[in-house]
Amino acid sequence: MNYLDFEKPLAEIEGKAQELRALARANSEMDVSKEAEALDRKAEAALRDLYRTLTPWQKCQVARHPDRPHCRDYVAALFSDVMPLAGDRGFADDQAVFGGLARFNDQPVVVIGHEKGHDTKTRIEHNFGMARPEGYRKAIRLMDLAHRFRLPVITLIDTPGAYPGKGAEERGQSEAIARSTAKCLEIGVPLVSVVIGEGGSGGAVAFATANRVAMLEHSVYSVISPEGCASILWKDAEKMREAAEALRLTAQDLQKLGVIDRIIKEPLGGAQRGRKETIEAVGKAIEIMLKELSAKKPDTLIRDRRNKFLEMGTKGLAA
């Protein structure tokens, strides 16, 4: 288990419980079950306390937790007949973006998502979930495919942002993001998005301009990372706690602002402590959102999606 800095007290208690049990295994005459159970209860109480009052910055840390389920975990568990489709037909295949055909509850769909990777090797391979223009262009191609064959599109959002690199700029990073957002607004099929970790800026909005957007309880969605915002507005990257607070990037604030439609509850201690439950809960939410849209005609889907975004921001936090 990877512990976050604010989970230190918890790490201590859980560590003690583990030590005690290891000691008991080595010495069969010792009975520690009572003490160990007491420690377990203490740990659970600590966890409950910690996660009940997560600050926005702590939520950012949870959203970036390396043990959280990533795109490929959801795809493997929730979809069948998964058929990855690669390439933008112009330059390359971007490994930061997964895309392909699959069945969701037997219904054929197109699934697109950011993949961050789960260890050093795969993280580098997937460029930490930071897409280049090719990633957005692959997504555009797949959304076109979905539109032509009347397949709903499901997008899973988990990116620190679009990749800020030389090649990415040369090949038109901004144009690729703009066209991907535009494509989201053009397709006459249901489009549902789930922010499963980090919804980083334009890199996220390019896939999340959807009929329905859900967020996991401890995920975040923001115009800029708290560190980036702090270094620009506070002139001090260490002020990320204040920036995270001011940006209103938590699922709870975004629901109040009317930016997202639904919050998916995470198990106690976050998605990283209950991967299976989290994935099931996301599956359930996708099912509900698709059902809400299934009877709508292509024109209605397009019109509703556009109106939804045109009207966004008209209600403040007061609600």
Partner 1 sequence: MNWISNYVRPKINSLFSRREVPENLWTKCPECGTMLFHRELSDNLNVCTNCNHHMPISPRARFAALFDAGVFTEVKVPDPLPDPLQFRDQKKYPERLKAAQKQTGEKEAMLVAEGEMGRTPIVAAAQDFSFMAGSMGMYVGNAIIAAARRAVDLKRPLILFSAAGGARMQEGILSLLQMPRTTVAVQMLKEAGLPYIVVLTHPTTGGVTASYAMLGDVQIAEPNALICFAGPRVIEQTIREKLPEGFQRAEYLLDHGMLDRVTHRKALRDELIAITRMLMGMPPAVKGDLPPPAAEPAPAPAEAATGAPQA
Positions that interact with partner 1 (CB under 8 A): 162, 164-166, 168-175, 177-179, 181-182, 184-186, 201-202, 205-206, 209, 221-224, 229, 232-234, 242-243, 246-249, 254, 257, 259, 306, 309-310, 312-317
Using the minimum distance from each CB to partner 1, give the nearer residue, 72 or 137.
137
Using the minimum distance from each CB to partner 1, give the nearer residue, 15 or 90.
90
Distance CA 139, CA 206 (A): 9
Least gap, CB of 310 to partner 1 (angstroms): 6
Using the minimum distance from each CB to partner 1, give the nearer residue, 61 or 209.
209
Using the minimum distance from each CB to partner 1, give the nearer residue, 204 or 286.
204
> If DSSP codes are grouped into helix, strand and coil, which group holds residue 26?
helix
Using the minimum distance from each CB to partner 1, give the nearer residue, 93 or 186.
186
Using the minimum distance from each CB to partner 1, give the nearer residue, 3 or 128.
128
Distance CA 228, CA 14 (A): 34
Least gap, CB of 133 to partner 1 (angstroms): 9
β-pair partners for 221: 199
Counting Cβ atoms within 10 Å, is residue 20 exposed (0-12), middle (13-18) or buried (19+)?
A: middle
| Angle in degrees, CA 98, 100, 104, rounded to 5 | 110
Least gap, CB of 184 to partner 1 (angstroms): 7
Listed in sequence order, the residues at least 6 apart from 175 whose beta carbon sits closer than 8 Å to its beta carbon are 133
Q: Could you tell me if 243 and 60 are in contact, meaning their C-beta atoms sit under 8 angstroms apart? A: no
Using the minimum distance from each CB to partner 1, give the nearer residue, 155 or 201.
201
Distance CA 316, CA 250 (A): 15
Least gap, CB of 219 to partner 1 (angstroms): 13
Least gap, CB of 302 to partner 1 (angstroms): 9
Q: Could you tell me if 272 and 65 are in contact, meaning their C-beta atoms sit under 8 angstroms apart? A: yes
Least gap, CB of 272 to partner 1 (angstroms): 24
Q: Could you tell me if 272 and 7 are in contact, meaning their C-beta atoms sit under 8 angstroms apart? A: no
Q: Which of 48, 60, 26, 7 is nearest to 249 (CA)?
A: 60
Listed in sequence order, the residues at least 6 apart from 227 whose beta carbon sits closer than 8 Å to its beta carbon are 237, 240, 243
Using the minimum distance from each CB to partner 1, give the nearer residue, 86 or 259.
259
Tokens of 117: 């990777």
Distance CA 206, CA 35 (A): 52
Using the structure block, give the residue that is written with the tokens 């998005």.
Answer: 193
Least gap, CB of 169 to partner 1 (angstroms): 6
Least gap, CB of 300 to partner 1 (angstroms): 16
Distance CA 221, CA 216 (A): 10
